[in-house]
Amino acid sequence: MTIPRIGVTGVVRSWDGGERTGVNAAYVRAVIAAGGLPIVLSPLVGVAYAARSLDGLDGLVLTGGEDVDPSLYGTAPSPLLRTTDRARDLFELAAFAAARARALPVLGICRGIQLINVGLGGTLYQDLAAERPGAITHDPDGPRDRRIHGVTLEPESRTSHALGTTALQVNSLHHQGIRDLAPALRATGWADDGLVEAVELPADTDEGWLLAVQWHPEEMPAAGEARATPEPGLFRALVRAAQASRRTPDSMDAEVAERSVG
Ligand code: MN
């Protein structure tokens, strides 16, 4: 079986004195650990080639990072809005739309769940602490792998099946979150304060495989594991879905090989 190729959306940042493009190593490690071949997609590719950048890919991870530009969901910016990257927003929205058109499985992480919700017509809280008084702290100081709040999962959902549980403690590294859920999405996980922390496209429709969570499974090792060993459940589920929906099946590779020999 050929290893499924999984696109992982990247960032443009300044570090070590230069402008660079890449992605947190934890995402790349998580895809590899789950049996996928990660391909980092730079937003510098731009909207015009966002769809082409998915050629040959079998799945897509929309990763964490900047706040989504609120103009994309019809809201004026709050003073508490943090860094945005409109070029990244537009690249990822175009890549997400192209992935949907191609029925590629999609996994969203943190900003990814927010981008998916906006892409499908939902809205966001720009700052949870200000706009949702009484909410638990979703962006505490501390290590990225610290499990800080509970999440309850819908028993019959892709998310609970992938994780093998209906209740878990998760890390939390976000100050934004889902306000109005996009009509097509189904909420399947909630924080202790009721905030939506997991969404998916219903399995009983033709909408394709999509799962997104507000926490960072790639930074959250399974109990008793070293930090570099991500909790595998959600990434394994993505890789399995990618294998099931491969657009370039192994049989096609084999046919090409046969023809070239014959
Ligand atoms: Mn949270």
Residue 9: name the closest of 90, 103, 84, 72 by CA. 90
CA of 176 to the centre of ligand 1 (A): 9
Buried b (16+ CB within 10 A) or exposed e, 116-139: bbbbbebbbbbbbeeebeebbebe
How far does the centroid of ligand 1 lie from the alpha carbon of residue 121, in Å? 21
- Sequence-ordered strand ranges (E) for 30-185: 37-41, 59-62, 106-109, 124-125, 149-153, 167-170, 177-178
Strands 186-191 and 177-178, bridge-based pairing: unpaired
Ligand 1 centroid distance, CA of 32 (Å) = 25
DSSP secondary structure of 208-229? --EEEESS-GGGSBPTTS-TTS
List of residues 6+ apart from 166 with CB closer than 8 A: 152, 153, 154, 155, 160
Q: How many CA atoms lie within 13 A of 76 on its CB side?
A: 1
- Cβ distance 40 to 8 under 8 Å? yes
* Residue 135 DSSP class: P
Query: What was the pLDDT predicted at 122?
Result: 98
- The H-or-E segment that residue 200 falls in is strand 196-200
Low-confidence stretches of the chain (pLDDT beneath 70): 1, 223-231, 247-262
175 is catalytic: no
Whether 153 contacts 176, CB under 8 Å: no
The tokens describing 214, both together, are 């507000």
Tens-place pLDDT, residues 79-108: 999 999 999 999 999 999 999 999 999 999
Catalytic residue among 92, 110, 138, 219: 110
pLDDT attached to residue 232: 76
Q: Is 207 a catalytic residue?
A: no
Q: Which residues pair with 187 in a beta bridge?
A: 199
The one catalytic residue in 138, 174, 175, 216 is: 216
Note the pLDDT of residue 262. Answer: 42
Cα 80 from Cα 123, distance rounded (Å) = 16
197, 200, 218, 231: the catalytic one is 218
Ligand 1 centroid, distance to 260 Cα (angstroms) = 53
pLDDT for 259: 52
- Ligand 1 geometric centre to CA of 52 (Å): 33
Is 218 marked active-site? yes
Among the listed residues 133, 130, 42, the one whose alpha carbon sits nearest the alpha carbon of residue 81 = 130
Specify whether the CB–CB gap between 36 and 239 falls below 8 A: yes
Rounded to the nearest whole angstrom, what is the distance from the C-alpha of residue 250 to the centroid of ligand 1?
40
